[in-house]
Amino acid sequence: MKRIQLETITQQISSNKVTVLSGPRLAGKEEIIQHVVQEIGVDCLQINLSNKKERKVLEEADLSELTNTFRNFPLVVIHEAQYLSNLQTIIEAILSGTIKSTIVLSCSYEPLLDDILKEVLLAQGLYIVVYPPSFYELAQNNGLPNEEKLLEERLIFGSYPPVAESMENANEILVHLLETIVVTDLGVTDRINKKDQLLRMLQILAFSIGQPVSYNEVAEKCGLDNETVERYIHLLEKSFVLINLTSYSNDHRYELKKSHMIYFVDNGIRNMLINNFNPYTLRNDLDELWLNWLIAERVKWNNIQQKEVKYWFWRTHTRQTIEFLEESNGQFSAYKSTWEKKKKIKFPKLFTEYYPQIPTYSLNRSTYWGFLTKK
């Protein structure tokens, strides 16, 4: 499948000394990299740091040894580069010209970089996140009519390429993917010693789509303390499993001020956690599946467009709710959704009173396309 970001990534790798590709496992980063390597057509050294021996060699090498290792290869690709303890040093050596090769760093977990360095890479378009294929990309590949027919399957199984290619094996693929993330990726910088409780926490979040989440309540249900729940959620955001929306408030009466709504980057992961791959005709959570899918797809689209966007939800103590708030360049938009095409959506009276300047939009199966491709 041709990915929208492919041209940008090819151009950045061709014209810059370092490019960081970050994003979840099995999302398509490796396919993009191999296409770029073939397109550029130069001698390429590829190192996979899932191999502990190769990791140890790079971590123990000084700059002169690294320069020697790379010198005969115009292009070097380091897979799973988030494991490198000396990643910052290597990037700085590339940017300073000490290492002459062009380096591509592929990461399945947000790498540990100095905030200033990451800001520089982001500003220059050298830090690129690759999510599983978006609905727009799938529609380009399969044709919009065909992809709309597959929409119900995307809500159930998600859009990771290996799952889309073998939906009869979806559960096994997704179990393996989550196991790899929890056991391997989350341990890069933080010790995970309560795996069973972490998985229980994820199951609780999977059943809480579209509802405010209290870290204290989640902690009590899964046998963790409040700080550990917050830390685990943060780590799962950095490993591209969760999307964490905070509550929007301007200190108006009744507004929730310190709450969260948690969504999943992929519906398949969510459904695997609750062990429910039943078809949509047998589901009682269609609105939740639909909402999760819409928000994840919007995040993917904005990422592809390289937009700087902030996301929230809005809710009052009386349960009046705006499910999704988006702000870009000072412009806000507010959304509520329903799976049913003909169901009329009512927007909270308090929200329209407090924020009359923010436009509101209804999302259903007739109106979602504009939302997913709005620039």
Same domain, yes or no: 124 and 142: no
Same domain, yes or no: 85 and 179: no
What is the 3 state secondary structure string of 48-117? ECCCHHHHHHHHHCCHHHHHHHHCCCCEEEEECHHHCCCHHHHHHHHHCCCCCCEEEEEECCCCCCCHHH
Which of the listed residues 96, 129, 162 is the one where a domain comes to its end? 129
Same domain, yes or no: 15 and 148: no
CATH of the domain at 230: 1.10.10.10
- The reply to whether 294 falls in a domain is yes
Which of the listed residues 69, 97, 129 is the one where a domain comes to its end? 129
CA distance 264 to 250: 27
Same domain, yes or no: 291 and 144: yes
In degrees, rounded to 5, the angle at the alpha carbon of residue 200 between the alpha carbons of residues 195 and 204 is 145
The boundaries of the domain holding residue 284 are 135-372
In degrees, rounded to 5, the angle at the alpha carbon of residue 288 between the alpha carbons of residues 27 and 241 is 30
Same domain, yes or no: 155 and 249: yes
- Summarize pLDDT for 137-187 with one digit per residue, the tens: 999 999 999 999 999 999 999 999 999 888 889 999 999 998 888 777 675
Q: What is the pLDDT along the chain (375 residues), one digit of tens a residue?
A: 889 999 999 999 999 999 999 999 999 999 999 999 999 999 999 999 988 888 898 989 888 999 998 988 999 999 999 999 889 999 999 989 899 999 999 999 888 888 899 999 999 999 999 999 999 999 999 999 999 999 999 999 999 999 988 888 999 999 999 888 877 767 555 667 788 899 999 999 999 999 999 999 999 999 999 999 999 999 999 999 999 999 999 999 999 998 999 999 999 999 999 999 999 899 999 999 999 999 999 999 999 999 999 999 999 999 999 999 999 999 999 999 999 988 899 999 999 999 999 999 999 999 999 999 988
Same domain, yes or no: 75 and 203: no
Same domain, yes or no: 145 and 174: yes
pTM over the 0.85 mark: yes
**pLDDT for residue 189:** 56
- The reply to whether 32 falls in a domain is yes
- The reply to whether 348 falls in a domain is yes
- The reply to whether 1 falls in a domain is no
Same domain, yes or no: 141 and 245: yes
The number of domains in the chain is 2
Same domain, yes or no: 155 and 282: yes
Same domain, yes or no: 173 and 320: yes
**pLDDT for residue 31:** 94
Which of the listed residues 129, 145, 177 is the one where a domain comes to its end? 129
CATH of the domain at 70: 3.40.50.300
Same domain, yes or no: 150 and 91: no
Same domain, yes or no: 219 and 264: yes
